Amino acid sequence: MLFSYSFAGTAFAQAPSGGQAPSGIAQILGSPLVMMGIIFAIIYFLIMRPQQKKQREQQLMLRNLKRGDKVLTMSGIYGTIAAIDEKIISLQVDDKVRVRISRQSVSALSEEE
């Protein structure tokens, strides 16, 4: 018995079983470029923007430091600013104990004694 398949090399496209192809907003949101844009916007608003805001607040705090402010350094030292220069701060840690530190190493203002 010999069978001949003449249609073996031909493929036919079929319409979706729902009856209609997606159109309008569904087709736009299905685009890879639109999805990448949405993901970038989410990353920007959840990660990058808050980090930039925190960095601006830190720079503002460093610019507004003055003599007598109680601060915490990045290394965990609490002290009071005895003298301040453009780049160097003289930090009074205890009676007659002063430490010279970089202005950038101040991490926060402190209310601690």
User: 19's torsion region: left (phi>0), alpha (psi -120 to 50) or beta?
Assistant: left
What stretch of H or E contains 32? helix 32-43
Which residues is 79 bridged to in the sheet? 71
Give pLDDT, residue 42: 94
Which residues is 73 bridged to in the sheet? 106
Residue 31 has pLDDT above 60, yes or no: yes
* Residues in contact with 113: Cβ distance below 8 Å, sequence separation at least 6, in sequence order: 70, 78
Strand blocks (E) in 12-112: 70-73, 78-84, 88-94, 97-102, 106-109
Confidence (pTM): 0.62
Residue 106 has pLDDT above 60, yes or no: yes
Could you give phi then psi for residue 21, rounded to 5 degrees? -75, 150
- Angle at alpha carbon of residue 105, lines to 101 and 110, rounded to 5°: 100
Give pLDDT, residue 28: 72
Domain 25-48+64-109 fold is SH3 type barrels. (2.30.30)
Residue 109 has pLDDT above 60, yes or no: yes
